[in-house]
Amino acid sequence: MPKIDKGAADWRAQLTPEQYRVTREKGTERAFSGQYWNCSDDGIYRCICCGAALFDAAAKFDAGCGWPSFTAPLAGDSVAEAEDRSHGMRRTEVVCRACGAHLGHVFPDGPAPTGLRYCMNSAALSLEKK
């Protein structure tokens, strides 16, 4: 997958202020505020920045946390993970492998079969409905 490299001005021109804050500045939207936290539509969730396919709606579940949550990414190479020690916590950040957009975090408290909860920000995603 080729890397997408744009400057801040290009990203700001493409994204809403909230999308930019979340994806390019590693922000987080408020719980229960994003458009996909309670969405049950079928389709593919894509990166709002570059359009890369990230999650299948079939892997989405209601974690009760207020953010869209998935058991696994669509493909093993669609996202990358990095240690995040911000805000006095130790978490695993999830980013789009193609463009580096901050998507959210992954936690080891999800349901079977993976036991993982990919807790994503709606502002980082767009849903391509089937």
Out of 47, 50, 99, 119, which one is annotated catalytic?
Answer: 119
pLDDT one-digit tens code per residue, 35-77: 999 999 999 999 999 999 999 999 999 999 999 999 999 987 8
Tell me the sheet residues that pair with 46: 53, 126
| Domain parsing of the chain, residue ranges | 8-129
119 has catalytic annotation: yes
Q: Which alpha helices (DSSP H) does 15-105 contain, by range? A: 17-24
Residue 1: the pLDDT is: 58
Token pair for residue 28?
A: 């987080």
Residue 89: the pLDDT is: 85
The top-level CATH class assigned to 8-129 is mainly beta
